[in-house]
Amino acid sequence: MNTRYQVTNAFTMVHPITLTHGKNACVWDTNNKSYIDFVGGIGVLNFGHCQPKIVEAITKQAQLLTHYAYNAAGHLPYQTLMPRLCQWVAASMHAVNTNKAPAALSPQAIADFDSEPHAKAVALSGMLTNSGAEATENALKIARLKTKRVGVIAFDGGFHGRTLAAVNLNGKVAPYKRGLGPLSSAVYHIPFPSPDNTVSDQQAMAALTRLFEIETDVDNIGAFIVEPIQGEGGFQRLSPSFAQYLRAFCDEHGIVLIMDEIQSGYGRTGVPFAFMHLGVNPDLLLLGKSIAGGLPLGAVIGTDDLMNDLPKGSLGGTYSGNPVACAAANATFDIMADATTWENAQHYSDVIETSVSTWQAENLSPWLHGLTGVGAMRGIELRHKEAGTNPQVMTHILTEARARGLLLMPSGKYRHIIRLLPPLTIEPETLQHGLDILKEVLQSIPKHFSQPTNTQPTSAESNNNTAAKTLAAG
| Per-residue pLDDT at 472 exceeds 60 | no
The string over 366-381, giving b where at least 16 C-beta atoms fall within 10 Å of a residue's C-beta and e elsewhere, is bbbbebbbbbbbbbbb
Q: What is the pLDDT of residues 31-47, one digit of tens each?
A: 999 999 999 999 999 99
> At residue 45, what are phi and psi to the nearest 5 degrees?
-120, 60
pLDDT of residue 473: 32
CA 98 to chain centre: 25
Q: What is the pLDDT of residues 415-440, one digit of tens each?
A: 999 999 999 999 999 999 999 999 99
- The CATH code of the domain at 60-339 is 3.40.640.10
Q: What is the pLDDT of residues 278-307, one digit of tens each?
A: 999 999 999 999 999 999 999 999 999 999
Q: Tell me the pLDDT band of 452, cut-offs 50, 70 and 90.
A: low
Q: What is the pLDDT of residues 77-90, one digit of tens each?
A: 999 999 999 999 99
Q: Tell me the pLDDT band of 121, cut-offs 50, 70 and 90.
A: confident
| Per-residue pLDDT at 324 exceeds 80 | yes
Q: How far is CA 27 from CA 5, 285, 402, 407, in A?
A: 21, 31, 12, 9
| Per-residue pLDDT at 1 exceeds 80 | no
- % residues pLDDT > 90 (the chain): 88
Among candidates 330, 319, 315, 263, which has minimal Cα distance to 296? Answer: 319
Beta strand pairing status for 406-407 and 34-37? parallel
pLDDT of residue 179: 83
Beta strand pairing status for 368-374 and 19-23? unpaired
pLDDT of residue 2: 63
Locate the domains of the chain by residue range: 19-49+341-450, 60-339
Pick the CATH number of 19-49+341-450 from 3.90.1150.10, 3.90.230.10, 3.40.109.10, 3.30.1490.120: 3.90.1150.10
Among candidates 289, 314, 322, 296, which has minimal Cα distance to 76? Answer: 322
Query: Looking at per-residue confidence, does 474 or 342 come out higher?
Result: 342
- Find out whether 89 and 123 touch, Cβ atoms under 8 Å: no
| Per-residue pLDDT at 462 exceeds 60 | no
Q: How far is CA 399 from CA 10, 16, 287, 430, 442, in A?
A: 22, 10, 31, 20, 12
- Find out whether 391 and 415 touch, Cβ atoms under 8 Å: yes
Q: What is the pLDDT of residues 42-75, one digit of tens each?
A: 999 999 999 999 999 999 999 999 999 999 999 9
- What integer is the mean pLDDT of 316-328? 96
| Per-residue pLDDT at 465 exceeds 50 | no
pLDDT of residue 453: 55
In angstroms, rounded to a whole number, what is the distance separating the alpha carbons of residues 181 and 265?
Answer: 33
Cis status of the peptide bond prior to 296, with omega within 30 of 0: no
pTM as predicted: 0.93
